[in-house]
């Protein structure tokens, strides 16, 4: 130091002016600038302003050469960067030489004056810091290809040498402070090997806020970078770390400041994840270096109070950094660069979204099936929030329970990301941002009564089971690790549980999907809250259960959202819960009245607005999922992906009519007829069951030339007038005009209501006598039947299974009388009965015409008639049969897809197995509930007839209605049928699983118990 002082240049202003003129041919006004080691003059000339530097004679040549070469490189390759650009001497060199009056050799350099105000004097807005990051990024990018021997310096300020701070610890007086520094030094020692492998290049290495200039007119814009005295070859990330360390001094949000810098730098000079991952520690180590160098200097000089003052911000920042979770700080910095807050975070969220349908229910039943409402913690004035914030969980719980009782709500949801005022304690003070509290909920709360069991949706390994004692803490807290195939591992956190889990589970235990995790705890056990589960996911598997941040700062919500993705999908909550779309129920009802036919009916007193269908589920506009056991149109499940894909693909390719050749129609006809007896070979495609039946009637007329119809009582065959005419269910009820003369109604062959003295084995024959009588009556008038039409299992009549031999007998009689036999399979076809493709097959007959609809297209309007060659020949009388939409390529593609799925997934086998399971359960219920008169079913076509007296079989219509409504309230859809509306009717999709069936059984049980209680 002393040597340097002796060699410090002391040229007069006049001598300096002479040097300027001699070496640069410039003249102007010179004014001296402060410099510790060199002599600097600001020079104002007509060519602009410059700095003339006369270098200390003792400075090694390689150092001034290095700085000069560095600036020359920047000038050559990034001339627009606002750094001091070198003005060459008259002889074209970057450095000049002169000899002082003392006979010492000095190098001289003239550089352009960089305009601006030091950042130290202006505010460090986020924009200014991002601009600084950009400036450093551009500067370092310009230096990528630059190297110089002088860059390989041994400097304590080299981040790689930060470990040397350990040797200076002795100069730090306080043991506590030393311990603080040691913690950072220890972390640094473990990451130093990684640091050694990072990209290195020449960097500025000292972007403190005196070396950074700001545009005086716009303090958000960095206008210059100066002082290259500490430049060296070092890891590139050190540039960012150093700037961030200075930017964080006295900053309310030092990681936010670092994030702004790194964001700017990354935009100009893309950083690597492994670089960002070390940034938090490198920021700290710059400060550790700084405070230990100061301490060491202080110990060598007189106690200098100024030094202590200038160190204080660095110490304060170190203490702040020490209180932070480094993984969270790193997450913020990663996110600032556009990297995932935790590696794999997106993949976890994507995997859960993609596999959500295969997750086991987290509650006893899928969470979306419970009527749910938001818990009012987002409303600071709500009494429940007020009580919770005041740590009065009992009162808060009572408010919630009253609300649930009044509204029928069973599940309270506290959403991810909600701003809440309930977090009043000290533990919710931010460790990142001064004077800020953590207010935003990062978990998903599910409020249900204490004791409600919760189950893991995925297989898991128990990471930890512990009790957090703090008031407003988690109470019993469990962390599980999940490692599903094809997904990065992640953790689920289960808080506020009952303590019973402590005895049952321990770290390392394996849980299967659907296994019990715990029970929602009462306030005494759960940290003092109204009973609920705090469920949270963490994509950072290194965090311990108590490190996982349950509540976070809003500023970093985007970071927390990746570290702790919203658990809604994992928990099985439907998206629609969070966002209601479209018109309100009342508005739609009103518009229906104004705009639509008034005879359209709406199911239920309180109508449902469904917005999505998925497999066996229908989801309403509030996100509630209903188990669809009624709608047999979506035969293989709502929105079946195979069907949707086939439809979309064909629709995107071609849709025309049958007047052009296309593969689909013949392929479909081949496949469809292959499921039928060999006599039924010719298909006609239409768009609805009604059209199918109408076409069947045209065929019948062409074949027989007759009109006389024999129909079963209480049957329904379609909506056109000629079909209403053959549907007693319509013409005998409101608005109906009774049977037309050619309509002959046969008794419904309902074995359950057969006269008691009929032997069961004769039911078929005995009921067929009704048809015989009708034919005889026609014959007496010189007439004969044109046709007999019946559903193979009459449905609206109350899921009536025809007695054995019935159709055989009837078909024989009708055919003998010259009529044709039509089987309406619009409801019951396509394998629903499981044992056969077609329900008529259970009767051992072959119809002349079969009509199909509803399930054929899984919701797409498609229907068909299949008949014999004989009938077809009669129908082919010269008149063209054209149906604009019938048999179009899209419809046929859909039909093919439905057949593919039924066959490839053996859905007939499934229907039979699940149907048998349901029948067993219903029969078991029949033993316990007098009201169940008869259980009927085959495959997934099921009915339960309810009677108020098993002997008289008097219909229990009220019970049936109450049961259907009760099931709906519990989220299961079914209907009532039969002349007295006393038959519960179920036709669930063919993909109905054992779990779905058990859900239905459990709901029926609950409902029957409830209705029995209330109706007596």
Residue 714, interface with ligand PLP (CB under 6 A)?
A: no
Contacting range for ligand PLP; rule: CB under 6 A; set: 280-288, 578-586, 659-667, 822-830: 822-830
Nearest distance from C-beta of residue 957 to ligand PLP, angstroms: 21
Residue 824, interface with ligand PLP (CB under 6 A)?
A: yes
Nearest distance from C-beta of residue 771 to ligand PLP, angstroms: 19
3-state SS assignment for residue 553: coil
Nearest distance from C-beta of residue 863 to ligand PLP, angstroms: 6
- Positions 774 through 813 that interact with ligand PLP (CB under 6 A): 791, 795
Nearer CB in complex with ligand PLP: 420/635 = 635
- Residue 984, beta-bridge partner list: 944, 976
Ramachandran angles phi, psi of 110, nearest 5°: -115, 125
Choice from 316, 719, 883, 993 touching ligand PLP (CB under 6 A): 719
* Distance of alpha carbon 303 from alpha carbon 316, whole angstroms: 21
* Distance of alpha carbon 910 from alpha carbon 931, whole angstroms: 29
Nearest distance from C-beta of residue 920 to ligand PLP, angstroms: 27
Nearest distance from C-beta of residue 691 to ligand PLP, angstroms: 7
Residue 694, interface with ligand PLP (CB under 6 A)?
A: no
Which tokens is 60 given? 């090694």
3-state SS assignment for residue 27: coil
Residue with smallest beta-carbon separation from ligand PLP = 689
Nearer CB in complex with ligand PLP: 544/603 = 603
Choice from 150, 484, 565, 718 touching ligand PLP (CB under 6 A): 718
Task: Give the number of residues written for the chain.
Answer: 1016
Nearer CB in complex with ligand PLP: 716/837 = 716
Nearer CB in complex with ligand PLP: 235/689 = 689
For β-strands 820-824 and 849-852, DSSP reports them as parallel
Nearer CB in complex with ligand PLP: 370/716 = 716
Q: Centre a 10 Å sphere on the Cβ of residue 428 and count the other Cβ atoms it contains.
A: 17
Residue 64, interface with ligand PLP (CB under 6 A)?
A: no
Nearer CB in complex with ligand PLP: 615/853 = 853
Query: Per-residue contact track with ligand PLP, 639 to 678, x per CB under 6 A?
Result: ----------------------------------------
- Nearest by Cα to 374 from 344, 401, 343, 409: 409
* Distance of alpha carbon 943 from alpha carbon 632, whole angstroms: 14
Residue 688, interface with ligand PLP (CB under 6 A)?
A: yes
Choice from 475, 689, 798, 829 touching ligand PLP (CB under 6 A): 689
Cβ atoms of 823 and 838 closer than 8 Å: yes
Choice from 133, 484, 552, 853 touching ligand PLP (CB under 6 A): 853
Choice from 98, 223, 658, 693 touching ligand PLP (CB under 6 A): 693
- Which residues, at least 6 apart from 386, have a Cβ–Cβ distance to it below 8 Å? 380
Nearest distance from C-beta of residue 855 to ligand PLP, angstroms: 11
Nearer CB in complex with ligand PLP: 208/688 = 688
Ramachandran angles phi, psi of 445, nearest 5°: -95, 135
Contacting range for ligand PLP; rule: CB under 6 A; set: 345-353, 712-720, 836-844, 920-928: 712-720
* Distance of alpha carbon 7 from alpha carbon 596, whole angstroms: 100
Residue 855, interface with ligand PLP (CB under 6 A)?
A: no
Nearest distance from C-beta of residue 927 to ligand PLP, angstroms: 32
* Distance of alpha carbon 248 from alpha carbon 251, whole angstroms: 5
Q: How many residues bind ligand PLP (CB under 6 A)?
A: 14
Contacting range for ligand PLP; rule: CB under 6 A; set: 87-95, 472-480, 716-724, 932-940: 716-724
3-state SS assignment for residue 906: coil
Residue with tokens 């008639």: 865
Nearer CB in complex with ligand PLP: 676/826 = 826
Helix axes 273-300, 326-336, angle to 10 degrees: 120
Which DSSP helix (H) or strand (E) runs through 201?
strand 200-203
* Distance of alpha carbon 981 from alpha carbon 986, whole angstroms: 13
Which DSSP helix (H) or strand (E) runs through 975?
strand 975-977
Kindly write down the DSSP assignment for every residue of 69-84, as one continuous string. Answer: HHHHHHHHH-TTSSS-
Contacting range for ligand PLP; rule: CB under 6 A; set: 34-42, 193-201, 710-718, 935-943: 710-718
Cβ atoms of 850 and 839 closer than 8 Å: no
Contacting range for ligand PLP; rule: CB under 6 A; set: 19-27, 211-219, 616-624, 821-829: 821-829
Nearest distance from C-beta of residue 895 to ligand PLP, angstroms: 15
Cα separation values, 877 from 703, 847, 940, Å: 10, 22, 40
Residue 631, interface with ligand PLP (CB under 6 A)?
A: no
Q: String of b and e for 85-124 (b: at least 16 CB within 10 Å)?
A: bbbbbeeeebbbebebeeeeebbbbbbbbbebbebeebeb
Nearest distance from C-beta of residue 690 to ligand PLP, angstroms: 3
Contacting range for ligand PLP; rule: CB under 6 A; set: 324-332, 713-721, 745-753, 955-963: 713-721
**Which 8-state DSSP code applies to residue 768?**
H
**Interface with ligand PLP by CB under 6 A: which residues?**
688-690, 693, 716-719, 791, 795, 824, 826-827, 853
């Amino acid at each position: 130091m002393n040597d340097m002082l002796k060699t410090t240049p002391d040229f007069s202003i006049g001598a300096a002016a002479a040097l300027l003129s001699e070496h640069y041919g410039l003249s102007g006004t010179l004014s001296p600038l402060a410099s510790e080691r060199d002599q600097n003059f600001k020079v104002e000339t007509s060519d602009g302003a410059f700095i003339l530097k006369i270098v200390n004679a003792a400075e090694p040549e390689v150092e001034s050469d290095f700085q000069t070469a560095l600036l020359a490189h920047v000038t050559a390759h990034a001339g627009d960067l606002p750094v001091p650009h070198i003005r060459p001497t008259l002889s074209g060199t970057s450095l000049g030489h002169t000899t002082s009056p003392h006979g010492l050799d000095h190098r001289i350099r003239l550089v352009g004056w960089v305009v601006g105000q030091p950042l130290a004097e202006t505010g460090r807005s986020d924009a200014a810091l991002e601009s600084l990051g950009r400036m450093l990024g551009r500067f370092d990018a310009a230096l990528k290809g630059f190297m110089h021997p002088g860059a390989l310096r041994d400097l304590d300020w080299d981040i790689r040498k930060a470990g040397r701070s350990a040797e200076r610890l002795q100069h730090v007086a306080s043991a506590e402070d030393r311990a603080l520094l040691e913690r950072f030094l220890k972390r640094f020692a473990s990451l130093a090997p990684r640091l050694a492998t990072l990209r290195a290049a020449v960097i500025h290495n000292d972007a403190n806020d005196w070396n950074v200039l700001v545009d005086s007119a716009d303090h958000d814009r960095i206008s210059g970078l100066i002082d290259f005295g500490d430049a060296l070859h070092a890891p590139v990330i050190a540039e960012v770390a150093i700037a961030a360390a200075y930017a964080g001094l006295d900053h309310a949000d030092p990681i936010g400041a670092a994030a702004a810098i790194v964001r700017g730098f990354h935009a100009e000079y893309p950083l690597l994840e492994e670089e960002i991952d070390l940034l938090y520690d490198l920021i700290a180590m710059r400060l550790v270096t700084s405070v230990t160098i100061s301490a060491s200097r202080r110990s060598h000089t007189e106690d200098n109070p100024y030094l202590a003052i200038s160190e204080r911000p660095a110490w304060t920042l170190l203490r702040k950094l020490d209180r932070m979770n480094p993984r969270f700080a790193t997450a913020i910095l990663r996110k600032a660069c556009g990297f995932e807050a935790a590696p794999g975070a997106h993949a976890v969220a994507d995997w859960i979204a993609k596999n959500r349908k295969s997750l086991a229910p987290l509650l006893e039943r899928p969470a979306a099936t419970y009527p749910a409402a938001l818990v009012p913690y987002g409303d600071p004035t709500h009494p429940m929030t007020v009580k919770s914030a005041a740590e009065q969980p009992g009162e808060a719980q009572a408010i919630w329970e009253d609300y649930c009782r009044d509204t029928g709500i069973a599940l309270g949801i506290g959403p991810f990301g909600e701003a809440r005022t309930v977090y009043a304690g000290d533990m919710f003070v931010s460790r990142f941002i001064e004077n800020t509290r953590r207010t935003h909920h990062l978990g998903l709360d599910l409020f249900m009564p204490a004791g409600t069991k919760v189950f893991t949706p995925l297989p898991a390994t128990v990471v930890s089971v512990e009790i957090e004692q703090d008031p407003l803490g988690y109470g019993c807290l469990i962390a599980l690790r999940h490692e599903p195939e094809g997904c990065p591992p992640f953790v689920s956190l289960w808080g506020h549980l009952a303590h019973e889990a402590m005895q049952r589970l321990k770290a390392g235990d394996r849980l299967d999907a659907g296994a019990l995790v715990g029970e929602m705890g009462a306030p005494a056990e759960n940290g003092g809250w109204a009973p609920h589960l705090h469920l949270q996911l963490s994509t950072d598997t290194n965090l311990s259960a108590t490190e996982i941040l349950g509540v976070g700062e809003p500023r970093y919500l985007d970071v927390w959202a990746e570290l702790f993705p919203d658990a809604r999908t994992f928990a099985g909550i439907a998206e629609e819960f969070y966002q209601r779309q479209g018109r309100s129920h009342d508005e739609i009802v009103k518009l229906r009245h104004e705009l639509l036919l008034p005879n359209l009916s709406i199911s239920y007193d309180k109508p449902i607005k469904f917005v999505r269908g998925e497999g066996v589920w229908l989801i309403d506009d509030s996100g509630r999922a209903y188990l669809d056991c009624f709608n047999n149109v979506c035969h293989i499940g709502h929105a079946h992906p195979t069907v949707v894909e086939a439809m979309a693909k064909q629709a995107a390719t071609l849709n025309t009519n049958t007047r052009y050749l296309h593969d689909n129609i013949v392929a479909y006809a081949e496949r469809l007829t292959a499921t039928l007896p060999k006599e039924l070979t010719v298909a006609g495609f239409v768009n609805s069951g009604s059209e199918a039946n109408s076409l069947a009637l045209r065929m019948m007329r062409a074949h027989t030339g007759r009109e006389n119809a024999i129909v079963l009582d209480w049957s329904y065959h379609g909506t056109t007038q000629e079909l209403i005419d053959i549907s007693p269910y319509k013409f005998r009820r409101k608005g109906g005009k009774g049977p037309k003369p050619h309509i002959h109604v046969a008794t419904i062959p309902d074995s359950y209501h057969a006269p008691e003295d009929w032997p069961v084995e004769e039911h078929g024959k005995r009921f067929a006598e009704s048809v015989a009588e009708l034919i005889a009556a026609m014959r007496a008038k010189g007439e004969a039947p044109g046709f007999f039409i019946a559903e193979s299992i009459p449905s609206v009549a109350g899921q009536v299974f025809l007695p054995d031999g019935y159709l055989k007998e009837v078909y024989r009689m009708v055919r003998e009388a010259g009529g044709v036999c039509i089987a309406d399979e619009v409801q019951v076809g396509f394998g629903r009965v499981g044992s056969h493709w077609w329900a008529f097959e259970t009767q051992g007959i072959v119809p002349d015409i079969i009509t199909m609809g509803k399930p054929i297209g899984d919701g797409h309007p498609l229907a068909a008639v299949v008949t014999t060659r004989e009938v077809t020949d009669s129908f082919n009388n010269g008149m063209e049969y054209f149906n604009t939409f019938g048999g179009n390529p899209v419809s046929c593609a859909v039909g093919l897809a439905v057949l593919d799925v039924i066959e490839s997934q053996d859905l007939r086998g499934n229907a039979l197995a699940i149907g048998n399971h349901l029948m067993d359960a219903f029969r078991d219920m029949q033993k316990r509930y007098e009201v169940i008169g008869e259980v009927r079913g085959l495959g997934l076509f099921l009915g339960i007839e309810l009677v108020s007296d098993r002997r008289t079989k008097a219909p229990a219509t009220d019970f049936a209605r109450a049961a259907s409504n009760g099931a709906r309230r519990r989220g299961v859809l079914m209907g009532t049928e039969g002349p007295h509306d006393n038959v519960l009717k179920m036709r669930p999709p063919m993909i109905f699983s054992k779990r779905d069936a058990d859900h239905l059984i459990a709901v029926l049980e609950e409902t029957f118990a409830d209705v029995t209680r209330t109706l007596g």
